[in-house]
Amino acid sequence: FLQVVPTSLNHRASLVQNLLLVNNKPPFTLVRIVNCLQYKYTTYILYFIKMTEPSSKKSKMSALAQLKNFTVVVADTGDFETMKKYKPTDATTNPSLILAAAKMPQYKDLISKALKLAVANGKTIEEQTEEAMDNLVVLFGTEILSLIPGRVSTEVDARLSFDKEASIAKAIKYIKMYEKAGIPKERVLIKLASTWEGIQAAKVLEQEHGIHCNLTLLFSLYQAIACAESDVTLISPFVGRILDWHVANTDKKSFEPLNDPGVQSVTKIYNYFKKFNYKTVVMGASFRNIGEIKALAGCDLLTISPKLLEELELSNEPLTEYLTVKNGKASDLNKIQIDEAKFRWEMNEDKMANDKLSEGIRNFAADSRKLEKILTEMLSKIN
């Protein structure tokens, strides 16, 4: 359905309206769909159509099925079998997930293809390794897109997190590779770390190249506001890693889901965006338990690991929609003005956000180096 929807907003709205009339859906749903279409995120159409299912059906649903009534569910994995099983709308990948998948025997053919393309396009072993890395990332994304109706998030090398121009160049290269494989750029989100440089790279990609971006490793409201002010398509504020930091650095070692500091952070960001009418959508990420996920029901999107998808599938406890546009509009948050100096100062002052951003970049970079080493060894045998 999504692949044949015309690109015109008016055409999409008309098509969805006809669909709703055929299915006798209430008219308020159309308004919410059109609002989300203005966010440039067409996969929401499926979500809002599902929203109007009778309550008698919902009561028999698993927690995962219920969650899909409130939120777009995204698979946080590079494993194709997981996507076939849980049927998410979107999928996200990162260097760690690609590294894990690359070690699995079922992806041997994909890696072989990436290496052959690299040998054909690279002169030195270093050039071939870089080409193989890029090929593998895009090949994984292409395969994932054959299994889902929505978008895949493909991450720029974390080692470019403080290099705006290099990040832009790598993102454009990925999009060209996807387009060569027959994938339109509208189905790809380029993931960038939420450093000041990463956010500015995303701003250029969105405004000058029409490339949609997903800003990751986001731990603070100030990072989120900088992204929204740059009109990026989507942000991925982390939940579990914020909890990890508080457990490790404070006296409190356990939290009820609604009091979880990661849940509260994402809730505040969501409310701020809705109150001040930002188009950027919020995708909660990095969960430690399904309690965190349930406490964020209603968030625009949630990206969830296979283990927690399984737990949600096995649970049939009723879910409450905690995050709503109405609640966001009614929040008592004040507008914050932000520039580079303000951003850097607030990040410096927020030990948790600063620690976790730095740690996340280091860890993703380390996994990229591990994957490079594996690919270099394979290329050496071919050459």
Which neighbouring-strand residues pair with 213? 190
SS3 315: coil
| H helix or E strand, kind and range, residue 95 | helix 95-102
According to CATH, where is 3.20.20.70 located in the chain? Answer: 58-382
The predicted model gives 257-263 an average pLDDT of 98
Quote the CA–CA distance of 15 and 5 in Å, as a whole number. 8
The conformation of residue 236, written as its DSSP 8-state character, comes to E
10-29 per-position pLDDT tens digit:
444 444 444 444 344 344 34
Nearest to 213 by CA among 238, 195, 177, 188: 188
Cα Dmax for the chain? 63
Q: What is the average pLDDT value for the chain, to the nearest integer?
A: 88
Q: HSE-up of 161 (CA within 13 Å, CB side)?
A: 19
Which neighbouring-strand residues pair with 214? 191, 234
SS3 148: coil
161-204 per-position pLDDT tens digit:
999 999 999 999 999 999 999 999 999 999 999 999 999 999 99
Q: Which two tokens stand for residue 160?
A: 């470019």
pLDDT of residue 196: 99
Q: Which of 68, 191, 203, 356 is catalytic?
A: 191
Please provide the DSSP assignment of 112-149 as one string. Answer: HHHHHHHHHH-SSHHHHHHHHHHHHHHHHHHHHHTT-S
The neighbour count for residue 55, using CB atoms within 10 Å, is 6
Residue 3 reports pLDDT greater than 80 = no
182, amino acid identity = G
pLDDT of residue 123: 83
Burial class (CB in 10 A: 0-12, 13-18, 19+), 29: middle
Contacts of 379 (CB under 8 A, 6+ apart): 115, 118, 119, 125, 128, 129, 132
30-43 per-position pLDDT tens digit:
434 444 444 444 44
Which has the minimum average pLDDT: 73-77, 122-126, 141-145, 373-377? 122-126
Q: Which two tokens stand for residue 230?
A: 């740059």
Contacts of 292 (CB under 8 A, 6+ apart): 239, 240, 243, 257, 260, 262, 263
Quote the CA–CA distance of 99 and 270 in Å, as a whole number. 31
Which neighbouring-strand residues pair with 303? 74
The answer to whether 108 is a known catalytic residue is no
What φ, ψ does residue 150 adopt, rounded to 5°?
-105, -125
The predicted model gives 89-110 an average pLDDT of 89
Its pTM stands at: 0.84
Q: Name the pairing type of β-strands 152-155 and 72-76.
A: unpaired
pLDDT of residue 26: 40
Residues 260/288, Cβ–Cβ less than 8 Å: no
Quote the CA–CA distance of 156 and 168 in Å, as a whole number. 9
269-308 per-position pLDDT tens digit:
999 999 999 999 999 999 999 999 999 999 999 999 999 9
Which has the minimum average pLDDT: 208-212, 227-231, 354-358, 379-383? 379-383
CATH topology of domain 58-382: TIM Barrel (3.20.20)
pLDDT of residue 44: 45
pLDDT of residue 177: 98
Confidence of residue 1 (pLDDT cuts 50, 70, 90): very low
195-239 per-position pLDDT tens digit:
999 999 999 999 999 999 999 999 999 999 999 999 999 999 999
pLDDT of residue 382: 86
What Å distances lie between residue 278 and 232, 239, 376, CA to CA?
10, 21, 44
Nearest to 113 by CA among 88, 147, 138, 76: 138
